[in-house]
Amino acid sequence: GAGVSQSPRYKVAKRGQDVALRCDPISGHVSLFWYQQALGQGPEFLTYFQNEAQLDKSGLPSDRFFAERPEGSVSTLKIQRTQQEDSAVYLCASSPRILGETQYFGPGTRLLVL
Amino acid sequence: QQQVKQSPQSLIVQKGGIPIINCAYENTAFDYFPWYQQFPGKGPALLIAIRPDVSEKKEGRFTISFNKSAKQFSLHIMDSQPGDSATYFCAALSGGGGADGLTFGKGTHLIIQP
């Protein structure tokens, strides 16, 4: 079956530009997570949705980062006024469970801010 | 504050050998410990996971050993193959819900030489 998909796969943005990253989770999965992975590092948690409710956004690095999942399926991570330090791979994961176990990851969006 | 410490950072093993990757944690609220495998340009893929009430779990060539008192766990790969060359991440999740996402180690870059 189809896994988690993310688009675009690569994004180059000029500093100050707004970007939107899309995640299509596995159909029927309740939980959706966003992670940020810097080069050579492990993923770091950004935010968590249970259906359409954003239950935790404690990992978002600044108020320039915003995520939504309005209908409980597709999610969008938006970064306003991008900075060079935002350059990273942004990973989306979904899980059929509300406890966050068994997370399936998408391929990620590689963001480069120039 | 690094909540999950992973070692070694890199590892080279001959084909057929048994690479061992170790992780240690401090947060006693963690109660789910997965291992992920990541190839370049791909998202992490779940390999195997364990809970603290079990000291060992095997799935195919992958084994997790868990020492609750020492707050340590490790991944063993039996009969390693060049196709196992990848970056491996340990992770942990706290009980009571997945709202805070997985906490990852920094990763181990594994090379299996033919």
Amino acid code (one letter) for B12: I
pLDDT at residue B49, as a whole number = 95
In this prediction, residues B14-18 reach a mean pLDDT of 97
pLDDT at residue B64, as a whole number = 97
Please judge whether A98 and B98 are an interchain contact, meaning their C-beta atoms are less than 8 angstroms apart: yes
- Cα dihedral sign for B96, B70, B58, B108? positive
Task: Tell me what percent of the residues of chain B surpass a pLDDT of 70.
Answer: 93
* Non-local CB neighbours of B96 within 8 Å, separated by 6+ positions: B29
In this prediction, residues B33-47 reach a mean pLDDT of 95
pLDDT at residue B39, as a whole number = 96
Residue ranges of chain A whose CB lies within 8 Å of a chain B CB:
4, 31, 33, 35, 40-46, 48, 50, 55-56, 58-59, 91, 93, 95, 97-108
d(CA B91, CA B48): 11
Q: If you write DSSP's letter for every residue of B37-106 in order, what string do you get?
A: EE-TTS--EEEEEE-TT-SEEEETTEEEEEETTTTEEEEEETT--GGG-EEEEEEEEETT-STT--EE--
d(CA A34, CA A43): 9
User: pLDDT tier at A13 (50, 70, 90 boundaries)?
Assistant: very high
d(CA A32, CA A4): 10
Q: For B95-106, write each residue's pLDDT tens digit.
A: 665 556 899 999
pLDDT at residue B99, as a whole number = 58
In this prediction, residues A67-75 reach a mean pLDDT of 96
d(CA B54, CA B60): 17
User: pLDDT tier at B44 (50, 70, 90 boundaries)?
Assistant: very high
Q: Phi and psi (nearest 5°) for A58? A: -65, -20
Q: Please say if the pLDDT value at position B113 is more than 80.
A: yes
Amino acid code (one letter) for B39: F
User: pLDDT tier at A63 (50, 70, 90 boundaries)?
Assistant: very high
Q: Please say if the pLDDT value at position A100 is more than 60.
A: yes
> In DSSP terms, which residues pair with B93 in a beta bridge?
B32
Owner of token pair 């675009």: A8
CA-nearest of A14, A30, A3, A13 to A91 is: A3
CB nearest to A103's CB, from B100, B102, B103 = B102
pLDDT at residue B100, as a whole number = 67
Q: What is the mean pLDDT of chain A?
A: 95
Q: For A75-99, write each residue's pLDDT tens digit.
A: 999 999 999 999 999 999 999 988 7
